[in-house]
Structures are given as structure tokens and as C-alpha cells.
Chains A and B, each alone.
Chain A
């Protein structure tokens, strides 16, 4: 593909309609549609010089010709799936989700049709308890090397010594802030919430997600991100209700608002922070010094996967460091794998958004399974949203 000035630019309305009509006629797949229109997939920097080493471990097994994966928006290099198809003949259908709960609800209902999916650390024990995922057959994942993984990020994929999920990447939940509009330095969650009620009035977004919105409100008082204590949650609720009238939105889709300049500050995940900062340099991404969330997204295989051989084949393919490095360049999230970090360009490793200083990482907490499924926090969130 020649380098052109159009690369990376948004698609024109005419082209969009063209592609939509092609999709309707069925002459392209939904994935191609998402790729061509830039909807749901990253406009990726393709590190083409890094060739792909074929990993022909499954020549004996019949992989079929299609499989389906459930993952997050802007989370993969679209070329990865093209290359996988070229190598194995298996077309990958990508389903994009907005929350872990939606994924869980769909898997719990049965018949999701996914052969691979991307759950976050705190859901894996629940999936295991509900019997939705199976222990991974590590013999089929020759490209995975546990000794090269940072144990901090892999721990929750292993339950009682058995590996149920392997990490895709890790990240943090911090604050994205437009430094042209809000010039005071931002270093803590206390400042985040106070600014939301002052200079950031009407311009601040919080996630439509109880885990992070309640968790970061708890950090205002220095409580644990995962607190389930009645009195601490009551304080967090008081703060949230006080901030509510000052908010721009309660939404996890914060990139459009930040890019358009309607929102000046938002709760933000690492990969979104990196993408926003890359395109709009005045948008900074910072961590609260009180702490907050650190997370790992994993790959897991559902028990009812319709095409397990292809699920394993794709997972093994993605564990190849030379493939994984392109995924990290595309989605902007840091890697858990030392072999991948060795391949990443220096400016990526030096990017404080992706690899924050150790003293900022130290107070961060992984979200807990109980935090996510707690009915009390769900009701608190409902009261916050309906206030």
C-alpha cells in the first residue's frame, strides 16, 4: 500500500455509504467493513518491516474456515487477522463489546459462538466458577512462554495452579485532561473530582462503569478502589451525587467528546489515553497519586466454543512476539511479555503513558471479582445515574 496523505484520515461520507452498501449486499464481511471505515478498529501504524514467522503447529488439525472472537473496540491491528487468514484459511469475525458484564451476560446465556474472547482480570474467577471457560491446553500454545511474563500481570489467569487465561496486555485507569482548557496541573483523584465541580464544570466525563467510577470516587478519601464497606461506599456516593450535576456525561465512550473539545477531562484507560495523546498532543494522561486501577486483559476460550482448534490456533498465533508487537503498536497498550518489550521501539518503552514510573504504579490495585458482582455497588451506580 503506497503511503498517501489520506492514510489515517477519516473516511469520507460517500466512501462510507459505498462500504455500507457493500456490507448490505454481503460482498464484504462486517470485519472488513469496520476496517475500511475505521469504525471499531484502530487506524493502525503498521510495522511492516517486522515479518511474520509462520507457526505451523496445527497442520494436522482441521481448523475449519471461520471463527469468531469477542474483544474491545480499537484493540487489534486489523492486519493481524488478515495475516492469520492468509496463513490458515480461517476467517476471523470480530465482535466488539463495551463491558465485561455484556460479555459475561452473552456467554452465560449460551450460544455466543465465540472461539476466543478477551476478558479482564477480575472476571476470570467468575467465569471459572460458572463453568464458562476451560483450562487451557498449553501443549497447543507453544508460542506462550510463562517464564517471560511479568508475574504481576499473569496471576489472575491461573487458578489453583491451572492456567485458564493468558495475558494480552495490561494497563491503568487514569485521567485524560485537555491541558489547553484546564491548565492547573492534575496529579490526583482528589483534584479530578474537585476540578469537575469547579473549572471543569460541565466538561468532565466519568465512566458508565461502577467498578471505575465508584472506585475512583473512593480514592478521593484514600479508601481502597475495591471497598465494599458500607460507610466508605456511603461517602463515595455522597461525592458522586454532589458531582453529578456538574458532569458533561456518564459514558465509557469518551474519545468522541474529548476529540471534539466538548469534554476537557475524563476517566480514561491507558490505550485510549495513548491514542488521544498521539493525535492531540495537548491531551495528557496522568495517574492519580492516591492509586486507582491497574488491569490486565486476557485471552480465554469458552467451553462451548464452536471451533476450538481455530481458537487455539489464533491464540497461539497472537502469542508469537512478532505478531504481538504489532498489536501493541496498534492499540497502544503495554505488554506483559518480556520478549515483546524487547521488540518494541525505544520511544514506546519510554512513553510514560504506556510504561509509567514505578512509584506511580505501586499504589494501584487490581479490581476484584467481588467488586464487580457486588449488588450493593450496582444499586449505588443506579442511584448515581438516576440522581
Chain B
């Protein structure tokens, strides 16, 4: 008995070891290194020089605009993604014919096979002067500029992160017990109130999962604003790239990175709380 328990524990340990090792080497250790960097100083020629100071954290207001822009972009981007994704997920889960569903899902996932960089670069040419504006010039709309506008950035974000929003919502809608919809209709609810009271409500965990997933990734986004926004709007991701690769102020960059991680954790916790409160307490089981 004791022997088999020991064996069970050993198997569990062995199975978890690769993942644990991976996390320690590639997540925990780098995080500790960044934390140590963040209390250091910038060497005269750039890079890191050992010290014990909180000056880098005290200097965080110097990047307040970048934090602010990110805090505005991330929820707006996630919301725009949600507004586009929900109808798609709804159609896939509740309306699409069974034989098409798998193909449609595959079509949503396939763009992920190409790197985001390539796809964003492609948008640069589609929105650039020889792309859509050139076509519009044929019908008399001259010198229209699409690239390097806030709209182009939003488009890039929605395009890039859409699948991450669709899939969790799809999963929660797909599990929806159809009898609840019938019950709601039988009890005299209009389609709209059935949607708001039953469908939307029960799919909220998926919505929150998708929302926080996209939001967390957007907190670190720098590629899309750079390529489609012309680098004119400065996000915290851009500040990090500049601090590590341009001015090589590694300690200040590390302090910002630590702050960004803390903000992301808070966002996750809050999203988790909201989602539990909205759905968990009102879980309905028919059987």
C-alpha cells in the first residue's frame, strides 16, 4: 500500500518535472535576474551596473504617458475584439451547420500558422499607398491615407487577436444547454431578453477568459503600433524595447518590466473575480 502510494507520487513528480524545470529555467530565473537589475544602475556606457537603489522605480513617472496609452489601448482593443468575435462565436456554436463547423473553426485558426510579424507586415502594404488607397483612387478618392492612423492600429489588433477571443467564447456557448433557451421562450421571454438573460450570461466565463487573454497580450504589445501606427503612439512595450535596445538603460527597463508584470497579475485576478461572481454563483443545472 505504502509502496504503491510512493510509486504514484514518483510518477507524478516525474511527469511534472519537465514542465517545472522549464518554468524555473525560463520564467523564474529570468524574473529574478530582472528583479535584481531593477534595483541597479545604468552603467555610463549603458547596460547594468550593480547597486541597491529604488531610483528606477522612483523614475517610473517618466514613462507615465506610455503606461497611460497602454491602459487605454488594452481595454479598447480587447473590447473591439470582443464586439467582432462574439457574433462569430455565436454563429459557430449555435447556428452553423454541423458539417461546416469544423471547417469554419479551422479557417479561424489557420492564420496562426504564420507569424504575427509577417501578417502585420502584410497589412502595412494593404493599407499603404499602393494598396487600398490606390484602388480607391480609381473611383476618385485621391490621396487617402490609411496607414499610420489609430484606425489602422485598431484594425491590426482586432485582426491579430481575434482567434484568441473567438475560441473561448465558442467553447462556452457550445456547452450551453439548449433546453434553457426553450424554457426561457416557453416562459414568455422575448428573444432579446433570452439572449441577455440566458445566452450572454452563461457565456460570460468565456467572454472573460478571452477578454483577459487579449488584454494581457495587449499590455505588452509593441509590434502593431510600430508597424501600423508609424511609431507615433508610444506604448509600454515600445518603451521597453527602446530602453533595452536603444538607450540600453537595462535597470530602468527592468523596473518597468516588473511593474508591467504586476499590473498583468492584477488584471488577471480582477477578471477572474468578476467572472466567478457573474456566473459561478448563478450556475444552473437542470439535472
CB–CB A248/B148 < 8 A: yes
CB–CB A251/B226 < 8 A: yes
Chain A interfacial residues counted at CB < 8 A: 35
The answer to the question of A96 belonging to the interface, with a C-beta cut-off of 8 Å to chain B, is: no
Q: Nearest residue in B to A379 (C-beta to C-beta)?
A: B62
Interface SS of chain A: helix, strand, loop or mixed? helix
What chain A residues lie within 8 Å of B199 (beta carbons)? none
Which parts of B229-279 form the interface with A (CB within 8 Å)?
Answer: 230-232, 234, 238-239, 242, 244-249
The answer to the question of B63 belonging to the interface, with a C-beta cut-off of 8 Å to chain A, is: yes
Stretch at the interface among B24-32, B77-85, B123-131: B123-131
Partner of A101, one of B44, B128, B247: B247
User: What is the minimal beta-carbon distance from B149 to any residue of chain A, in angstroms?
Assistant: 10
Which parts of B137-167 form the interface with A (CB within 8 Å)?
Answer: 145, 147-148
What chain B residues lie within 8 Å of A386 (beta carbons)? 63, 65-66, 69, 234, 239
CB–CB B232/A247 < 8 A: yes
CB–CB A375/B247 < 8 A: yes
Which parts of B102-146 form the interface with A (CB within 8 Å)?
Answer: 124-125, 128-131, 133, 145
CB–CB B232/A101 < 8 A: no
What chain A residues lie within 8 Å of B128 (beta carbons)? 256-257, 260, 262
What chain B residues lie within 8 Å of A108 (beta carbons)? 46-47, 248
User: What is the minimal beta-carbon distance from B72 to any residue of chain A, in angstroms?
Assistant: 13
Chain B interfacial residues counted at CB < 8 A: 34
What chain B residues lie within 8 Å of A102 (beta carbons)? 245-246
Which parts of A190-213 form the interface with B (CB within 8 Å)?
Answer: 202, 205, 208-210
The answer to the question of B45 belonging to the interface, with a C-beta cut-off of 8 Å to chain A, is: yes
The answer to the question of A86 belonging to the interface, with a C-beta cut-off of 8 Å to chain B, is: no
CB–CB A104/B65 < 8 A: no
CB–CB B245/A382 < 8 A: no
Partner of B65, one of A257, A375, A381, A387: A387
A247 to B145, CA, bound (A): 13
Q: Produce 1/0 per residue, A37-59, CB < 8 A to B.
A: 00000000000000000000000
Can you add 10 more A-B contacts, CB < 8 Å, to A102-B246, A386-B63? A105-B46, A108-B47, A251-B226, A251-B230, A257-B129, A262-B145, A373-B46, A385-B234, A386-B69, A386-B239
Chosen A-B contacts, 25 in total, with CB atoms closer than 8 Å, are A102-B245, A104-B46, A105-B46, A105-B244, A202-B145, A208-B231, A210-B246, A244-B232, A248-B145, A249-B232, A250-B230, A250-B231, A250-B232, A262-B148, A373-B45, A373-B46, A375-B247, A375-B249, A378-B247, A378-B249, A382-B62, A385-B231, A385-B234, A385-B242, A386-B66
